[in-house]
Structure formats: structure tokens, C-alpha cells
């Protein structure tokens, strides 16, 4: 090769396309700014979750931390991928084969990890929407219990008999939270048809008032109990209903104490609990 040709080729290679350099620098700068904005946004989400309660519990703080980590990690991957492909395109590299390979690999991984991704998305929305948290009592389908563990993939319930139920978050379609913000005792009491309803209601109100005045139980009750009156007229009894609003997860303790007081009050007033009667007629 002639020396002149070699020199010309070397000079052409040493020439710097400042337009490309500036474009690459702008892409890198944009990626850094995007990462910074992402971090600010994630921290804002975490603060918003923590401020839902005046004194956030440890579980709520863990939930905010998990949520922020997931969002930030996913965002970083997206930003780095877009920035890398843009830079390769600017310097003259053909990114079409890379995109095709990534698409094929993504389809293969997607088919293999479809359920896993569904579980992660389910866990993300459970955390983001604060549907339930650790120590809540929930019902999911045919299962119920205390939430013992919650992460992005699964929810672990501890049932009443002590068994642990592992539920993938992707399977949580409809959930009933029995301990969110406040709970309620719904107590139905039956009396015979022969009994004076007004007298029975007065006895129930007195038993409920005594429960509120109790030093142990009174602090668990949020509002004065409601004695609604007749709830149903059944075959063998008149059903009366009482509602008591309690702090979360204490409705069972308050309900047991209320039943004990109602039974004692009925016994003192001579009000019988209804039972089946059989009348025999002899001719």
C-alpha cells in the first residue's frame, strides 16, 4: 500500500466527529438525570407510604423499602438499556440483531417465568395499594389467617389450627381484610317470642354499657355500642343485633366478653335463651 494512502486513511480515522461525541454525551447526561429523577420519585413514594400512619410500624417501613427497591432496580435496568442501545446506534453499530435477539430471549423467558412475573406484579400492587400487611387477619378464597410473611412473590398465612398457608401473590384476586383500620363485633342474640322485646333490648344496652366501662375492654372499643333492635323473626326466636366498633384485631376478645355479659344479664333478669318446644296433644 502506498504511503500516501496509508497516511490519508490514518488521518480519516483520527478525525473526530464532534456531532456524535456531543450526542453520546447528551445521552449519558440524560441517563444520569433520569436515574436521579427516578431516585427522587422512589423516595417520594416511600415517604408517602410511611406517612399513611402517624407512627409507621416496622412492617410498613419494610413495605416501603421493598417497594422502592423494586421500582428503582427496574427503572435502572430500563434506563441503562435504552442509553446503551442509543449510544451503539450513534456510533454506527447496527442494533437490529441485538433487538431481535433480545426479543427472542424475552419471549422464551416470558413463557418460562410467566407465573413468577405475575406473582411479582401481584405483590407489587399489594404493597403499593396497602391492601394488607404483616399481622393483619385476611381471607383469600377458602383460606384465612394471620399474615405471617409478605414479600413480592408470596403471602404466608398462619391459620387458626397453626398450619401455614403459602399463597402466590398472583393468585390473590379477592381479599377480605378483617383488621384494616378498625374492626367490628356483630352479635346476634335470640329471645323467645313470649319475651318482652323492649325489656330485652334494655338489658342488652346495659350489658354493652357495662362492657364499655370495663377497664380492660373499654380501651379496645372505639365508639359506643349500637343496639339495633330486631334483626330477624325466625321460626323459634326473635333475633336482636348489637354492633361494637373496636380497634383492629380485637373484635374477637370484645365479642367473647360481650357474650359473657349478655348471658349473665339475661340470667339475672330471667330472660331465657330460646330452645325448641314440642307440644304433644292427647285425644
Q: In the chain, pLDDT over 70 holds for what percent of residues?
A: 74
Ranges 29-38, 88-97, 158-167, 175-184: which has the least confidence: 88-97
Tell me what pLDDT residue 117 has: 78
Assess whether pLDDT exceeds 90 at residue 9. Answer: no
Q: Whole-angstrom Cα distance, residue 41 to residue 75? A: 11
Q: How sure is the predictor about 18, in pLDDT bands with cuts at 50, 70 and 90?
A: low
pLDDT tens-digit readout, 248-277: 889 999 999 999 999 999 999 998 888 776
> What is the structure's pLDDT at 5?
53
Q: What percent of the chain has pLDDT over 90?
A: 36
Task: Specify which of 64-73, 90-99, 203-212 reaches the highest per-range mean pLDDT.
Answer: 203-212
Query: Is the pLDDT higher at 10 or at 66?
Result: 66
Taken in order of first residue, the domains within the chain and their CATH numbers are 3-112 (1.10.287.1260), 132-177 (2.30.30.60), 183-269 (3.30.70.100)
Q: How many CB atoms lie within 10 A of CB 160?
A: 9
Which pTM was predicted? 0.62
Amino acid at each position: 500500500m502506498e504511503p500516501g494512502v496509508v497516511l490519508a486513511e490514518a488521518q480519516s480515522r483520527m478525525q473526530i466527529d464532534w456531532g456524535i461525541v456531543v450526542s453520546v454525551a447528551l445521552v449519558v447526561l440524560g441517563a444520569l438525570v433520569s436515574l436521579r429523577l427516578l431516585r427522587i420519585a422512589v423516595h417520594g413514594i416511600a415517604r408517602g407510604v410511611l406517612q399513611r400512619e402517624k407512627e409507621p410500624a416496622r412492617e410498613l417501613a419494610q413495605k416501603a423499602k421493598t417497594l422502592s427497591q423494586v421500582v428503582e432496580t427496574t427503572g435502572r435496568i430500563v434506563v441503562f438499556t435504552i442509553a446503551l442501545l442509543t449510544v451503539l446506534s450513534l456510533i454506527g453499530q447496527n442494533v437490529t440483531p441485538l433487538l431481535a435477539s433480545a426479543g427472542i430471549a424475552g419471549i422464551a423467558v416470558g413463557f418460562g417465568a410467566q407465573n413468577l412475573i405475575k406473582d411479582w406484579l401481584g405483590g407489587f400492587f399489594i404493597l403499593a395499594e396497602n391492601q394488607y400487611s404483616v399481622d393483619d387477619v385476611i381471607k383469600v378464597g377458602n383460606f384465612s389467617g394471620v399474615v405471617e410473611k409478605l414479600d413480592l412473590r408470596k403471602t404466608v398465612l398462619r391459620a387458626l389450627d397453626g398450619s401455614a398457608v403459602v399463597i402466590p401473590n398472583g393468585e390473590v384476586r379477592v381479599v377480605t381484610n378483617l383488621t384494616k383500620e378498625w374492626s367490628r363485633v356483630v352479635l346476634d342474640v335470640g329471645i323467645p317470642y313470649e319475651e318482652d322485646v323492649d325489656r330485652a333490648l334494655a338489658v342488652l344496652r346495659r350489658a354493652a354499657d357495662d362492657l364499655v366501662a370495663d377497664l380492660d375492654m373499654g380501651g379496645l372499643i372505639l365508639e359506643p355500642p349500637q343496639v339495633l333492635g330486631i334483626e330477624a323473626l325466625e321460626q323459634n326466636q326473635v333475633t336482636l343485633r348489637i354492633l361494637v366498633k373496636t380497634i383492629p384485631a380485637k373484635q374477637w376478645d370484645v365479642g367473647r366478653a360481650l357474650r359473657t355479659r349478655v348471658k349473665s344479664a339475661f340470667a339475672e333478669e330471667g330472660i331465657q335463651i330460646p330452645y325448641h318446644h314440642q307440644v304433644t296433644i292427647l285425644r
